[in-house]
Amino acid sequence: MQKHNDPEAPVDLTLREAGELDAVDDSKLSDYLSDLAPEIGWIVIYFNSLEDGISCFIREAILRDAIQDERMDVFLAGMMFSGKARALLDLYGQMILSGGFAIAPEDLRKVEVMLTECAARRNEYAHADWIGMKLGGYVRVKSQSKRNGISHRYKRYDLGRIQADVNFIRDARDTLFEFNERMWDLIRAHGQVPFEQR
């Protein structure tokens, strides 16, 4: 296994190197996963709430009546998180530019980076090979085909790391809600709210 100064850093291994790692025996694995599972569940809960918030903010930025909201849901239901996030960020950018609002481009960029990081963290949990956990709490979170063969990315998970990711996604949700409210406060302050949304 590659040595890093940071024991929490991801480790990239070839298929052969990954095969040399010792697996956690079934009885210990079950106990370990039982401790982690509730926190992993919170990742899903907060991430889904974040995604629902993005959908809500898209509808709020575009539409003005319940019938149109239902039509918009036809499109939103078929979109992945990254598409929804990109659409919302583009809407915010358009609203900032057309409204002449005093929101720095860096502020919008920070929201973009935050949403991208939320998706990356959630995907590692959703696609991890939890049953194939290796000694030391290393879990395969991604496999990639490269010119020199298959590369597997492993991350070490413990309760503290998972709780930190739960907190990150929960806080990101709150940050997005605050940013959205800031946008609408500026729109209202400039008298640019459509009549139906007042």
CA distance to 56, 132, 194, per residue, from 135 (Å) = 42, 10, 58
The more confident residue out of 68 and 142 is 142
Residue (of 131, 164, 128, 126) closest to 8 by Cα position: 164
Contact 50, 176 (CB under 8 A): yes
Pick the range with the lowest mean pLDDT from 1-15, 31-45, 47-61, 87-101. Answer: 1-15
- Name, in order, each residue with C-beta under 8 angstroms of 184's C-beta and a sequence gap of 6 or more: 60, 193
Is residue 90 predicted with pLDDT exceeding 90? yes
Distance, in Å, from the CA atom of 69 to the CA atom of 35, rounded to the nearest integer, reads 41
Distance, in Å, from the CA atom of 99 to the CA atom of 81, rounded to the nearest integer, reads 27
Which band of pLDDT confidence, cut at 50, 70 and 90, is reported for residue 92? very high
Write the pLDDT tens digit of every residue in 146-193: 887 888 889 999 999 999 999 999 999 999 999 999 998 888 887 766
CB-based burial of residue 115 (10 Å sphere; 0-12 exposed, 13-18 middle, 19+ buried)? buried
Give domain limits for the chain.
Answer: 11-197
